[in-house]
Amino acid sequence: AKPRVVVVGGGAGGATAARYIAKDSKGAVDVTLIEPTRTYYTCFFSNLYLGGFKEIEDIGHSYGNMAANGVNVVHDWAVGVDRDTKTVTLAGGASLKYDKLILSPGIDFVDMAVPGWDISAQNAMPHAYKAGSQTELLKAKLMAMPQGGTFAMVAPPNPYRCPPGPYERVSMVAHFLKNNNPSAKIIVADPKPKFSKMALFQEGWANHYDGMVDWIGEEFGGGNVSVEPDAMMLTIDGEETKVDVCNVIPAMKAGKIADMAGVTDGNWAPVNAVDMSTKADPDVYVLGDAAQQGDMPKSGFSANSQAKVCANAVRGALTGSKVFPAKFSNTCWSLIDTNDGVKVGATYEATDEKIAKVDGFISATGESAELRKATYEESEGWYSGITADMFG
């Protein structure tokens, strides 16, 4: 019988891994991808949808090409993993045997991380940190804000999915409000003293959105936050503010199935950098946000990069094909305003201990408009590239 690989989660990590193993093994490995949704909305560029730069259709992708690429796509939830019998069970009742199991389930939220907020409050106070209906809801609320109203964000503590994501979102919300609701205000309550590309964002907010963004960092009580979703009340360091929109982005942990598989330690799954296999089980791999990824940030670019390392190693282990040394890379682009793109990135290698940073780069403050426009265009090229790499 052919060796069997089961991949749980059809996002940046899982879709890439499934496609590469199927494609490169040319039918020698059976690859099954478990993913409940039929349309995957990328979180990447979802902020640009909020800002009006993209339509929701632009960020939705189907799994239609995966089958043609040799991947057996099953639209269901994985609800259990038995590592002794090497079996994954699905919500629909089926069970699947594997020789190698790859988990890339993304994130879930830490319960009660923001007092007053739990998942039942996500309609009143959306997180929009899993893209799709939540992103559409946040946009609808943004569009319905009264003139001169207040948009609040509760930013997450480290480590979390997409370090610049909340701040790109603030920029895109500000862009929308500047054109549609110029007397509105944005409050950001942040449990961190600083954040990714901080100097670049703060320069951009000052240049484009003068006075609109009030960022309240950890030293100003930004971490001492609670919410009352029914009353649309936000309390920062004892001070109550009635807000019109409240985007709560709670603390994060690995998607629950990683926990159920018993491969997490605390909130994330420790992995061996050389092939992304877990420390708990050499036949179970964890990719992307759910993994403890050493020096890499939790990004779609990172997950895609890790998936290729993992796919190469898994195929090698199952078919004897050549395994190349693990090399990783990441770039996180952010759009601050029209044609004002910035980026931060790095390359990485596998050490015994972790995925270790080799070299990095970051946009500078004060760059020319031409360079910022070129950086934005680069991000559009990357978006087309990664989605083609994931879905074929």
Least separation in angstroms between CB 150 and ligand FAD: 21
CB 61 within 8 A of CB 355: no
- Please identify, among the stretches 39-47, 60-68, 138-146, 321-329, the one whose residues bind ligand FAD according to the rule CB under 6 A: 39-47
Q: Are 383 and 304 in contact (CB under 8 A)?
A: no
- The span of 189-197, 221-229, 296-304, 361-369 binding ligand FAD (CB under 6 A) equals 296-304
Integer Cα distance of 56 and 53 in angstroms: 10
Site for ligand FAD in 6-25 (CB under 6 A): 8-14
Q: Which stretch binds ligand FAD (CB under 6 A): 62-70, 139-147, 158-166, 343-351?
A: 158-166
Nearer to ligand FAD, 129 or 201 (CB): 129
Give dist(CA 329, CA 207) in Å, integer. 31
Mapped onto helix, strand or coil, the DSSP state of residue 392 is coil
CB 332 within 8 A of CB 301: yes
Closest to ligand FAD by CB, 267 vs 321, is 267
**In the structure, how many helices (H) and strands (E) does the chain have?**
9, 24
Nearer to ligand FAD, 166 or 228 (CB): 166
Query: Could you tell me which stretch among 4-12, 209-217, 221-229, 362-370 binds ligand FAD (CB under 6 A)?
Result: 4-12
Asked if 361 and 367 count as a contact pair (C-beta separation under 8 A), the reply is no
Binders in 254-273 for ligand FAD, by CB under 6 A: 255, 257
Q: How far is CA 24 from CA 21, 72, 108, 293, in A?
A: 5, 15, 31, 25
Decide if residue 204 touches ligand FAD (CB under 6 A): no
Check residue 219 and report its DSSP letter: G
Are the CB atoms for 224 and 114 separated by under 8 Å?
Answer: no
The answer to whether 306 and 328 have CB atoms below 8 angstroms apart is yes
Q: Count residues contacting ligand FAD (CB under 6 A)?
A: 39
Under the binding rule (CB under 6 A), the answer on residue 299 touching ligand FAD is: yes
Ranges within 349-378 binding ligand FAD (CB under 6 A): none
Does position 34 interact with ligand FAD (CB under 6 A)? The reply is yes
116 near ligand FAD, judged by CB under 6 A:
no
Instruction: Report how far Cα 328 is from the mean position of its chain's Cα atoms.
Output: 17
3-state secondary structure of 21: helix
Q: For the window 42-71, what string marks contact with ligand FAD as x by the rule CB under 6 A? A: -xx-xx------------------------
In the complex, what is the shortest distance from the CB of residue 133 to ligand FAD, in angstroms, rounded to a whole number? 12
DSSP for residue 77 = -
DSSP string, 225-292: EEEETTTTEEEETTEEEE-SEEEE---EEE-HHHHHTT--BTTBEEB-TTT-BBSS-TTEEE-GGGEE
The residue whose two tokens read 């004897």 is 320
Contact residue for ligand FAD among 3, 70, 106, 392 (CB under 6 A): 106
CB of 385 to ligand FAD, least distance (A): 11
By CB under 6 A, tell whether 156 contacts ligand FAD. no
Is the bond preceding residue 126 a cis peptide, omega within 30 degrees?
A: no
Which residues 303-342 are close enough to bind ligand FAD by CB under 6 A?
A: 303, 332-333
CB nearer ligand FAD, residue 234 or residue 303: 303
Smallest separation (angstroms) from ligand FAD to the CB of 11: 2
- Minimum Å gap between C-beta 288 and ligand FAD is 2
CA angle 327, 284, 392 (to 5 degrees): 60
Question: Which of 3, 70, 165, 341 forms a contact with ligand FAD (CB under 6 A)?
Answer: 165
Q: Does 104 bind ligand FAD (CB under 6 A)?
A: yes
Distance of closest approach, residue 147 Cβ to ligand FAD, in angstroms: 26
* Rounded CA separation 390/392 (Å): 6
Judged by beta carbon, residue 185 or residue 197, the one nearer ligand FAD is: 197
Positions that interact with ligand FAD (CB under 6 A): 8-14, 34-37, 40, 43-44, 46-47, 77-78, 104-106, 129, 161-162, 165, 169, 255, 257, 287-290, 298-301, 303, 332-333
